[in-house]
Structure 1
Amino acid sequence: MIYKIFPTVLLVVLSLISTNEFFNETHNIKRTEAVKSIKTNSETSEELVYNNLNSNHFSLPKLESFVEALKGFYLLKEKGLVSKNILTLIDFSLSSNSKRLWVIDLTTNTILYNSLVAHGRNTGDEFATSFSNSAESYKSSLGFYATGEIYNGKHGKSLKLDGLEKGINSNARERAVVIHGAQYVSNSFIQNNKRLGRSLGCPAIPLELTNEIIQTIKDKSCLFVYYPSKAYKIASKLVM
């Protein structure tokens, strides 16, 4: 009798093993698909925006600087501290002889301008190395700003800035750190002096682009001055 039962039991056991193997294999497939999905989704929203930027024939900013800028922009937009979908990124880790300012339309993901921009005279020579929030330091300040109103000053049409990070750039308005045009922000100045001219702390831009850029970024758009500073990252509440 046992010989008649054994084949049946064996078939049941084999069937259970096959079923378990099937479920295990199915589980492994699903797990693999989930891992692939996680890897795909691990591309952050900021990286996705970066990878889909329309360069408009300009050079792209560095990924690291763009990601930091966009993360801060999202937080500031959520808090209502900036209102336009315009992001201006200045990368002071680059040579002042390179075009290290970008104005980006985040509605269309298009780079509108890529320009030379000056740093403060006490921030460095060709390269920026030192930053300050102090009055009469003649240094640039890092971090996030909201653009303010247009006015006509000693440099002509200029744009006021409000520093949004306490202790980092919060004295910008009192220091008269503004966006303005300057003759020393030009390729001819670089050719004659081997570096771009420097300001008293303002992010000065070429005269020929001043009106266009100011009109584009005025009235509560986001401006971010980037530099890979550990001290800034520790102090800032807007970068991770």
Structure 2
Amino acid sequence: MYKIIISLIIVLFFTTSFYKFENTKQNSIQKNLPNNFKRLIETESDKASNTAEELFSAISFANFNSLRPEVFYKAFLGFENLKKAGKLDQDSHLFTICDFSLSSTEKRLWVIDLNEKKIVFNSLVAHGKNTGEEFATNFSNTESSLQSSMGFFITETTYNGANGYSLKLIGMDEGFNDAALQRAIVMHGADYVSEEFIKNQKRLGRSWGCPAVPRALAEPIINTIKGKNCLFIYYPDSSYLSGSQWLKKQKSI
């Protein structure tokens, strides 16, 4: 009986020692992983963040105005969530970012091809007349406000209207831009979106709420992004950043 007890104690000792060794070994592996690999094993949203980081690093901004990485990451997160929700096709690879926290004298619109990892267009873009002077400060989802709306949009069809060749936009953020279609918030060209206007007025001209682009670039930009692609108008508004369903890191569709 005594020998049996001794044998059981020995077996138990080696079994627990092996478990502790394996556990310690695993913890050591985790601890020594580079930070980007640590994030990969945590959550699905971290995988998306890592993908965004890799894409952003691969895009060359030589000869273009630089896009801030935090704006790109937010745009990419919303872009991925829109695809998960079926609002964008799974093979969608173009998105447009307007950073309205920047001066209107800067080229603050980027059209990015994620497959090619390149900037297709980098352009001036106007904000609404009642959104601000040189800088955008006030946003609205209300008709006749003459203000821009922030958030994610899906590009739709084109038409020729009072402002020439134009692109319809569907606002995807409830309460922030979902009245865009009724408000006729579209992308179009305008003569007041030009370096000459900036030289004379020390700011860009302003629209009635539309993201207006230079007249010469309107048709090529619109033809590139029309037909169910993503457009993101960014502004660091805390209520929007915390309230947009498309910026939830662990969005469940």
TM-score bracket for the superposition, by shorter chain length:
0.7 to 0.9
What's the counterpart of residue 44 of structure 2?
Answer: none
1:176 correspondence with 2:177: no
Residue in structure 2 matched with residue 146 of structure 1 by the alignment: 154
- Scaled by the length of structure 1, the TM-score of the pair is 0.85
**Cα deviation 1:124-150 (Å, max 9, x = unaligned):** 000001100000000000000000101
Measured after TM superposition, the shift of residue 54 of structure 1 is: 3.2
| Alpha-carbon separation, structure 1, partners of 2:118 and 2:28 | 36
Structure 2: runs of 5+ lacking an equivalent: 1-16, 40-48, 249-253
1, 11, 36: which is aligned to 1:40?
36
Tell me which residue corresponds to 1:54.
60
Per-residue Cα deviation, 1:110-137 (whole angstroms, up to 9, x for no partner):
1111100000010000000110000000
1:87 aligns with 2:83: no
Number of residue equivalences? 219
CA 51–36 in structure 1, closer or farther in 2 if over 3 Å, else same: farther
Where does 1:95-174 land on structure 2 (aligned, <5 Å)?
Answer: 95-174=103-182
% same residue: 45
Aligned to 1:227: 235
Shift of 1:31: 3.6
Instruction: Give the CA deviation at 1:28.
Output: 6.3
Asked if structure 1 preserves the Cα contact closer than 8 Å seen for 2:36 and 2:50, the reply is no
Give how far 1:34 is off. 2.0
- Shift in Å at residue 166 of structure 1? 1.1
Contact 2:154-2:170 within 8 A present in 1 as well: yes
CA contact (8 A) 2:156 2:169 kept: yes
- Contact 1:56–1:110 (8 Å) recurs in 2: no
TM-score scaled by length of structure 2? 0.81
- Aligned CA distance change for structure 1 residues 105 and 56 (closer, same or farther; 3 Å): farther
For the residue of structure 1 that corresponds to 2:102, the secondary structure is: coil
User: How many angstroms does 1:195 deviate by?
Assistant: 0.3
Query: Matches of 1:57 and 1:184 in 2, distance apart?
Result: 24
Unaligned runs of 5+ in 1: 1-19
Give the distance between the partners of 1:141 and 1:34, measured in 2 at CA.
44
Shift of 1:239: 1.0
The 3 A distance-change label for structure 1 pair 105 and 28 is same
Root-mean-square deviation (CA), in Å? 1.9
Contact 1:56 1:112 in 2 (8 A): no
Query: Cα distance, 1:234 vs. partner?
Result: 2.7
